[in-house]
Chain A
Amino acid sequence: MNGGWRAFLRLFAVQGTWNYERMLGVGMGYAAEPLLDDLKSIDPVRHTEAVVRSAEFFNCNPNLAGLALGATVRAEYEAVPGAQIARLRTALCSPLGSLGDQLFWAGLIPAMVGLALAAIALGARWWAVLGFLVLYNLARGFTGIWALRTGYDSGMKVGAAIARSWIPAAIERVGPAAGFAVGVAVPLVAAWYLRDIGAAGALGTLAVAVTGVLVSRWYGAALTAVRFALVAILLLVLFRGIFP
């Protein structure tokens, strides 16, 4: 796979031109460019068609985009009909989005953030921040290399390769780990802030927290956490203005 490392590095910017029309499309085309270079000398017409296809609409979790990139590039070199490659790209959008979001956004990131917050509350300071950054980027780098290589090795059979891979099992484990880590972090962080505040202040803060949870569950997406916070801050300022 010539150009593999350049494509891997370019995948870090796969969302660089994110928009509501092609979504990751142009970013995928940018990452595909070094991988498609050799096709230029083999079949220039096919190369042009492949470049066009590479920048068309695409969307998925950026951390698993390498699977689609590797698979479609391999298919281009194997002279698979263009319509079939376009169908493969479309078919990969939802599963790669769903798997990546569950693995990273709903799993690995809250799990690692939860641990980092707990560690800071227990006094780890810089070490917690550094540990989070290093561990996350190792996991992400490994996933990125694996995704590109697996996609390229599998070509049109990438779906079966994903199903056989470590990803479904990892999602099963990382979700509960995220729940546990955030669960550990919340009381520790609350104690970290409220330890020297006094009982009245601590009870008031916890009352705000409980109200926030209940109100946000009642109103759903209409009252986001940020909106609730701004309303609460405004009410406090008004109250203090009226009753100084």
Chain B
Amino acid sequence: MPKMLSKVLKSLITKPATVRYPYVKPEPVPGTRGKITFDMKKCDLCQDCERVCPSLAIKIFPDEKRIEYSPFRCLYCHLCVESCMQMAIIPDVVVGAPAFEKVMDIFKTERR
């Protein structure tokens, strides 16, 4: 009983172990695997990322110089980030937010 009482008193003083999620968002740990974006200035459309992607979330159209990335198919394994020779894939620490429609992220090269 005394052991339990000390625990009860301790938990009265200490902060809760959980985070009040929708109101308070936890700080992402550096290096968290999240959404990716393509730096089209660096990308040479070699399709390495498309080849390694396990969930076929990346589609590259070299003729149109266009990349389609679906965050809803993505597993956040970051194999593409590791495979990119040009360092053109920029990883983010935030995972894609839920949405009503599964939209693609489209990246295009400006210079033709």
A interacts with B = no
| Residues of chain B having any CB pair with chain A under 8 Å | none
| Residues of chain A having any CB pair with chain B under 8 Å | none
